[in-house]
Amino acid sequence: MSVRERLPARPVAKYYLYMATNTMGLALPIWVVFLRAQGLSYTEIMVLDAIWWLGLTAGEIPTGFVGDRIGWRNSLVLGNALRSVAVVAMGLSSTFWVLAAVYLLWAVGTTLQSGSTDAWLYELLERRIGDETFEHVRGRGESVTLAVGAVAAIAGGYVGDVSLRWPFYATGALWAAGTLVLVTFPSIAVDADDRVGPLEVLPLLRERILGSDLRRFVLWVGVLLGVAQAVSRFTQPVSVDLGVPVASLGWLYAGFTLLAALASARAEWIRERVGLDGWFLLTPALLGTLFVGAWVVPLVAIPGFVAIRAMRAVTRPLSKGYVNDRVATAGRATVLSGVSMAYSLIKLPFSVAGGVLADALSPLVAMAALGVGLLAVTLVVHRGGSPVGLRTGSEVGAD
């Protein structure tokens, strides 16, 4: 029997429907253009990103704990409702400090979802058919988000050409619809013995992340995602400098997103054929080379931006599946939130450094500098051995 035939049809269909609403496609093509239109410098934009990551860092553990206590579905509903309010508020904002408050509210909503989404899906699949299907469903869900986002990006570019605020309002309406879908999700009950008390949170994180083979893996994925996030902020200004009209940014992002959707749908295939070791060695080497190449030949920036989207689309399900395989049911959302918190901390310096370099020199120079840094770190990390541990999920205790 195939994986598809064994999937629990209705819950997975609802998951895919929610993922279809979970796109930023409408606003993403004009995001940085909108912020620049409000008079913000690149440094201020990157500082907003840093505030976002700090908000995630501060909120991940408390909200992961909340998710384990009130239920993962309830945490998802609350988080998505807060995000819907935040994205509409962003469209209404025009000053740095108001935007900073919006970013913080958005971060809280995101943290309520970050651990709970994957904890809910992993437990649903594990209890009904076995956890080996997580990467299959997670990768397909990511591809649904990206495919819908591609269509939304085209619309967002044209809508943004009329008013840069309208795509944010439309995104808020879409996410509100997603909240209604989340309400219909089946609740996944967690036994009392699997619930984590407040005093157990830090020891649990020390044991599951800092004291395990996850430590090097989480650090390395955080660096990879941090550099990619910083460089992706230059997509719009660099593309406009290369002659792409604002109205056409949606088509550009649609192309990016469709390619990323195809990559995400093949996440399981990539793990089987390329392997985690190969993926987390070859991908940063390719990205770093493209980023440096863009400084010499600016048009190389476009395939670099494409590669970022494809990398993130595949890395998310691969890394989340890897981490889930190495944690038990007890405190699953808390541990996953702890991993997200680590990623947020690691991304901070890359965001700020990228903004400062872009203001002082240019976005292309900042992109090249981040590429050199990524290549250097890749060499150092892999000379010390692969960051991917050798243990399998079956070797992890169910404590």
Place of tokens 């195939």: 2
What's at 227, amino acid-wise? V
* CA dihedral (218, 69, 180, 119) positive or negative: positive
Distance (Å, whole) CA 177 – CA 172? 9
Q: DSSP of 291-336, one letter per residue?
A: HHHHHHSGGGHHHHHHHHHHHHHHHHHHHHHHHHHTS-STTHHHHH
Token digits of residue 373: 């840094």
Q: Where are the domains of the chain?
A: 3-395
Cα–Cα–Cα angle for 330, 394, 264, rounded to 5 degrees = 85
The architecture that CATH gives domain 3-395 is Up-down Bundle (1.20)
Distance (Å, whole) CA 291 – CA 363? 11
Distance (Å, whole) CA 113 – CA 205? 18
Query: Do residues 281 and 375 touch, judged by C-beta distance below 8 A?
Result: no
pLDDT by residue, tens only, the chain of 399 residues: 444 444 456 788 888 999 999 988 899 888 988 999 999 998 899 889 888 878 877 766 666 666 666 777 888 898 899 999 999 999 999 899 999 999 999 988 888 876 677 777 877 787 666 545 776 787 788 778 878 888 898 898 889 889 999 999 999 999 999 999 999 888 776 555 555 545 455 555 555 555 556 777 888 888 888 999 899 989 888 998 888 887 788 888 888 778 877 777 777 788 888 787 788 888 889 999 999 999 999 999 998 998 898 888 888 878 877 777 776 555 566 666 677 777 878 888 888 888 899 999 899 999 999 999 999 988 887 776 777 764 443 333 333
Distance (Å, whole) CA 280 – CA 123? 26
What's at 75, amino acid-wise? S
Question: Quick one: CA torsion of 13, 82, 134, 260, rounded to 10 degrees?
Answer: 90
Cite the beta strand spans of the chain per DSSP E.
none
Closest to 237 in 3D by CA, of 249, 247, 251: 249
Q: Which residues of 148-161 are buried (b: 16+ CB within 10 A; e: fewer)?
A: bbbbbbbbbbbbbb
| Cβ neighbours for 277, distance < 8 A, ≥ 6 positions apart | 386, 388
Distance (Å, whole) CA 294 – CA 40? 25
Q: Which residues of 67-91 are buried (b: 16+ CB within 10 A; e: fewer)?
A: bbbebbbbbbbbbbbbbbbbbbbbb
| Cβ neighbours for 334, distance < 8 A, ≥ 6 positions apart | 61, 64, 65, 67, 68, 115, 196, 201, 204, 205
Closest to 257 in 3D by CA, of 312, 294, 175, 300: 312
- Residue 373 Cα to chain centre, angstroms: 21
- Residue 102 Cα to chain centre, angstroms: 19
Distance (Å, whole) CA 12 – CA 124? 9
Token digits of residue 347: 């991304």
Question: Quick one: CA torsion of 138, 141, 143, 147, rounded to 10 degrees?
Answer: -170
Token digits of residue 24: 């930023």
- Residue 286 Cα to chain centre, angstroms: 20
pLDDT digit string, tens, across residues 65-109: 666 667 778 888 988 999 999 999 999 998 999 999 999 999 888
Structure confidence at residue 128 (pLDDT): 64
3-state secondary structure at position 158: helix
| Cβ neighbours for 235, distance < 8 A, ≥ 6 positions apart | 32, 253, 305
| Cβ neighbours for 117, distance < 8 A, ≥ 6 positions apart | 72, 76
Distance (Å, whole) CA 233 – CA 219? 22
